[in-house]
């Protein structure tokens, strides 16, 4: 990651060269624009549609490069361009945060608590006197910035899943809840304090432990304007509207073929990533 930093009224952020900004925007298929609500919506949707949530690259880079942190920006962009990689919340949300800040958005990198503090990253953007939650790293259909100044629940439904963003609590935190088939399945609480990426070094390193979630589970999610495709271990879930279809794959060989077909990630990368994982566990547990 680049070491130079810039500052605004909220926080310091790493400088991204104009060349890397243009490359990033080109991979998203969009043009550089002045900050506006329309431009922010275009950026968020493009990122979610073009850059999948996936931990194949996390497993692969750990095995082949000994990686125990966020890939460099260059490696992240190379992965998108050459292998149709994306990343988990740490890379997807951090680099979008960095891009937004360098494009002139008033933007904060924030931590979010799950069962453990600060195991998720999000962006909070202030635009036109309103605060928005931006999250392209939760394997969820958050295709637009989500307002934080809520008086009632903000609800997104896709297939069998319902995402509920609650009004801020007394501390200014925003609670996201994931309901699957009507049952509360997962969630996080996003905290508004501006943070620096180095503050998450330990929790990111912990995510590479042998028993950490994304070292023992496979999760890929790809989104479209009105549908999604999710591969969770050996299960393929396709959702559109309020309906979901679920099928089980026969084994790792079919898994590699399906990941190639639906995500474009080379088959050998998937097979190498899952080789030796043993008993796969629930990524949402």
- Reported as a pLDDT band with limits 50, 70 and 90, residue 280 is confident
The predicted pLDDT at position 41 comes to 98
Other Cβ atoms less than 10 A from the Cβ of 169: the count is 10
Round to whole Å and give the CA distance between 66 and 204: 14
Owner of token pair 């992240």: 76
Are 21 and 105 contacting, i.e. CB atoms less than 8 angstroms apart? no
Contact between 159 and 242 (Cβ < 8 Å): yes
Show Cβ contacts of residue 176 under 8 Å, excluding neighbours closer than 6 positions: 112, 133, 135, 138, 163, 164, 165, 166, 187, 188, 189, 190
Instruction: Compute CA distances 95 → 15, 77, 99, 122, 184, whole Å.
Output: 11, 10, 6, 11, 29
Q: Which long-range contacts (CB under 8 A, 24 or more apart) does 173-179 make?
A: 174/133, 174/148, 176/112, 176/133, 176/135, 176/138, 178/140, 178/284
Distance CA 217, CA 207 (A): 12
13 pLDDT higher than 90: no
How far apart CA 74 and CA 20 sit, in angstroms, is 8
Indicate whether 5 pLDDT > 70.
Answer: no
- pLDDT tens per residue across span 152-188: 999 999 999 999 999 999 999 999 999 999 999 999 9
Give, in degrees to the nearest 5, the angle at Cα 225 between 219 and 227.
50
User: pLDDT band at 227, cuts 50/70/90?
Assistant: very high
* Structure confidence at residue 204 as a pLDDT band (50, 70, 90): very high
What is the residue-wise DSSP string for 56-102?
Answer: HHHHHHHHHH---SPPPHHHHHHHHHHH---B-HHHHHHHHHHHHHH
User: What is each CA distance from 91 to 73, 97, 153, 164, 216, in whole angstroms?
Assistant: 9, 10, 28, 24, 19
- The pair of structure tokens assigned to 115 is 């069962």
What integer best gives the mean pLDDT of the chain? 95
| 115 φ, ψ (degrees, to nearest 5) | -75, -20
Averaged over 233-256, what is the pLDDT?
97
Q: What is the mean pLDDT of residues 35-57?
A: 98
* Signed CA dihedral, 260, 264, 268, 271: sign only: negative
**Residue 3 reports pLDDT greater than 60:** no
Percent of the chain residues topping a pLDDT of 90: 92
pLDDT in tens, 81-132: 999 999 999 999 999 999 999 999 999 999 999 999 999 999 999 999 999 9
Q: What percent of the chain lies above the pLDDT cut of 70?
A: 96
Q: What is the pLDDT confidence band of residue 9, given thresholds at 50, 70 and 90?
A: very low
Confidence of residue 10 (pLDDT cuts 50, 70, 90): very low
**Strands, sheet with 235-240, edge to edge from the N-terminal-most edge strand:** 53-54, 219-223, 227-232, 235-240, 243-248
- Per-residue pLDDT, 4: 63
Query: Looking at residue 228, what is its pLDDT?
Result: 98
* pLDDT > 70? residue 1: no
pTM above threshold 0.75? yes
| Separation of alpha carbons 101 and 143, rounded Å | 19
Q: Which of 9-23, 48-62, 156-170 has the lowest mean pLDDT?
A: 9-23
């Amino acid at each position: 990651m680049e070491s130079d930093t810039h500052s605004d009224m909220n926080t310091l952020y790493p400088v991204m060269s104009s060349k890397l900004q243009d490359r990033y925007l080109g991979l998203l298929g969009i043009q550089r624009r002045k900050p506006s609500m329309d431009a922010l919506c275009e950026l968020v949707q493009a990122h979610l549609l073009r850059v999948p949530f996936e931990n194949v690259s996390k497993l692969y880079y750990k095995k082949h490069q000994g990686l125990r942190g966020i890939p460099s920006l260059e490696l992240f962009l190379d992965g998108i361009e050459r292998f149709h990689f994306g990343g988990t919340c740490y890379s997807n949300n951090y680099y979008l945060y960095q891009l937004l800040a360098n494009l002139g958005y008033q933007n904060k990198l924030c931590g979010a608590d799950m069962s453990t503090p600060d195991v998720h990253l999000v962006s909070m953007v202030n635009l036109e006197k309103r605060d928005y939650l931006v999250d392209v790293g939760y394997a969820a259909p958050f295709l637009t910035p989500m307002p934080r100044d809520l008086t009632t629940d903000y609800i997104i439904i896709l297939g069998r899943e319902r995402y509920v963003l609650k009004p801020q609590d007394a501390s200014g935190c925003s609670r996201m809840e994931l309901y699957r088939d009507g049952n509360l399945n997962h969630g996080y609480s996003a905290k508004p304090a501006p943070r620096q990426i180095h503050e998450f070094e330990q929790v990111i390193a912990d995510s590479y432990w042998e028993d950490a979630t994304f070292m023992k589970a496979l999760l890929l999610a790809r989104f479209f304007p009105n549908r999604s495709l999710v591969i969770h271990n050996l299960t393929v879930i396709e959702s559109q509207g309020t309906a979901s279809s679920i099928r089980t794959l026969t084994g790792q060989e079919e898994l590699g073929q399906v990941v190639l077909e639906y995500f474009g990630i080379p088959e050998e990368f998937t097979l190498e990533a899952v080789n030796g994982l043993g008993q796969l566990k629930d990524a949402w547990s």
